[in-house]
Structure 1
């Protein structure tokens, strides 16, 4: 099984176009050792030719150009993207759907009923796309039942409801529903191993810990280092929790949860906000991650399991 990280940043990318935080300014001026990143998305494949796109970033066209396997050129008009699965309805995870409008057939789109409702009304992407390629929507239940995708028979998937928040445009922003945000379990039939993906995660419950402990790889929310990161920098009045993310540091933070996983689990952070000091490869925070065996995802990273 192959996972390709198309984009590893949170919304806005890195550097963010209007941000002059220490990381963004440092990268532009060459003052820190860091890599630019596009907005969060991954692709999954069993054969390296047919792919499940997980989240459709606003940067999808640049990500496709950087990933030749997503354009196999088998016909005059072609794409390796066989289907799209959405983890939530956040702007940075769904806007790229509009960039796929030139398809000659309806775009297979998997999401929970809650996500489909948000992108059908509050941000009516499915309605807009009906005037172009169209969308073949498939509602998925976040009840951990295994399922497969017709175009990708080698993938076995399970989805789990996670504690987070729907996007700010959603009428349910302050009254989250089960299904607004999911985690994805991917099974490899070749090895029998599992991978867990959750770019937005506000809480690690005991049940979720057990799921993660049974995986070969966990690729999880790396948005913020501190709970008050945006507030400290004067960029927002909101905390990490207000935005539906569990920070890495502090009591009960992501580092504590990852440290409790079995030694053989590969631990990777993704969806990294431009303010997060782990983007600076020489920072004390990055050294702390390395000391705990925790990796930081980057655009183009490949994971096989």
Structure 2
């Protein structure tokens, strides 16, 4: 299995265009030791040639320019992206679909039914795509059954319904239902190696915990270090958990949860908000995460299982 991190930041990227928090201002001035990051998205492949786009970031065009494998140049217009899967309907995971409208064929597009409904009504990307390349929708079932995506051979997927929050334009906002947000358990059918990908989660339930324990690599929500991080900065009145994210610190936090995994598990935080102090590579929080044996995803990161 080939895993390529296209974007590792949360919505708005890092630095965020209108933010002057310590992180964003420091990166712009060159006084902060950190990497710029685009908005969260990864690509998966079983053979290194046919790729699944997991989430379509608003930064997709910049990300693809930096990902040589995405452009094999076999024809006048070409792409190695063969299908798209969305784990939720959040702006930072779906806006890139607008940028991919020039595809030469209908996009095979995999989502849960609640995500499809949000993208037909509250944020009607699906109807808009019908005026361009169009899409062929495939429903992701929530019954725990594994499924294959024919365009991306060699990989098997299982949806993990997650506790998070639906987008502001969803009728399920603050009242999420199963299917608003999922994680993915992905198995390489040749090697048996497994990935768990869950960029937005507020609670590690028994099903997600079991999937994480059996995975070789866990890429999971790294949005905020502290639950009140954005409140303390005066940026928002919402805690991380109100937005559907489990903070890294504190009792029951993500670091504590990840510490329970087998020692051989590779643990990686992804979907990192611009306010998160772990972005500062000289910070105590960054050091704490690394001392816990947890990695911090960056754009262009590649993993092979």
TM-score range, shorter chain: over 0.9
Structure 1 residue 290 displacement after superposition: 1.1
**Aligned mates of 2:207, 2:114 — CA distance in 1:** 22
Count of matched residue pairs: 305
Give the equivalent residue in structure 1 for 2:304: 304
Structure 1 residue 21 displacement after superposition: 0.6
After TM superposition, the runs of 4+ consecutive aligned structure 1 residues lying more than 2 A away are: none
**Aligned mates of 1:85, 1:291 — CA distance in 2:** 33
Give the equivalent residue in structure 1 for 2:68: 68
Q: Map Cα deviations across residues 188-231 of structure 1 (whole Å, 9 max, x no partner).
A: 12221111000001101133212101110000000000000000
Give the equivalent residue in structure 2 for 1:258: 258
Q: Map Cα deviations across residues 93-145 of structure 1 (whole Å, 9 max, x no partner).
A: 00000101111111110000000000011000000010000011111112221
Q: How does 1:113-192 map to 2 (within 5 A)?
A: 113-192=113-192
Q: Map Cα deviations across residues 141-167 of structure 1 (whole Å, 9 max, x no partner).
A: 122211111111211111110001110
**Aligned mates of 1:74, 1:109 — CA distance in 2:** 23
Q: Is the 8 A contact 1:143 1:161 kept in 2?
A: no
Give the equivalent residue in structure 2 for 1:29: 29
- Deviates further, 152-161 or 256-265: 152-161
Give the equivalent residue in structure 1 for 2:77: 77
Q: TM-score, normalised by structure 2?
A: 0.99
**Aligned mates of 1:181, 1:303 — CA distance in 2:** 24
**Aligned mates of 1:117, 1:99 — CA distance in 2:** 21
Extract unaligned runs of 5+ from structure 2.
none
Give the equivalent residue in structure 2 for 1:108: 108
Structure 1 residue 83 displacement after superposition: 0.2
**Aligned mates of 2:253, 2:206 — CA distance in 1:** 14
Structure 1 residue 273 displacement after superposition: 0.0
Give the equivalent residue in structure 1 for 2:286: 286
Q: Is the 8 A contact 2:8 2:298 kept in 1?
A: yes
**Aligned mates of 1:209, 1:155 — CA distance in 2:** 21
**Aligned mates of 1:169, 1:302 — CA distance in 2:** 33
Give the equivalent residue in structure 2 for 1:56: 56
Structure 1 residue 175 displacement after superposition: 1.6
Give the equivalent residue in structure 1 for 2:203: 203
**Aligned mates of 2:150, 2:304 — CA distance in 1:** 22
**Aligned mates of 2:85, 2:118 — CA distance in 1:** 15
For the pair 1:247 / 2:277, whether they are aligned, the reply is no
3-state secondary structure, aligned to 1:159 = strand
Q: What RMSD, in angstroms, separates the aligned Cα atoms of the two structures?
A: 0.7
Give the equivalent residue in structure 2 for 1:12: 12
3-state secondary structure, aligned to 1:245 = coil
Q: Is the 8 A contact 2:160 2:207 kept in 1?
A: no
**Aligned mates of 1:173, 1:207 — CA distance in 2:** 23
**Aligned mates of 2:110, 2:15 — CA distance in 1:** 30
Q: Is the 8 A contact 1:40 1:92 kept in 2?
A: yes
3-state secondary structure, aligned to 1:62 = helix
Q: TM-score, normalised by structure 1?
A: 0.99
Give the equivalent residue in structure 2 for 1:216: 216
**Aligned mates of 1:285, 1:142 — CA distance in 2:** 36
**Aligned mates of 1:154, 1:193 — CA distance in 2:** 11
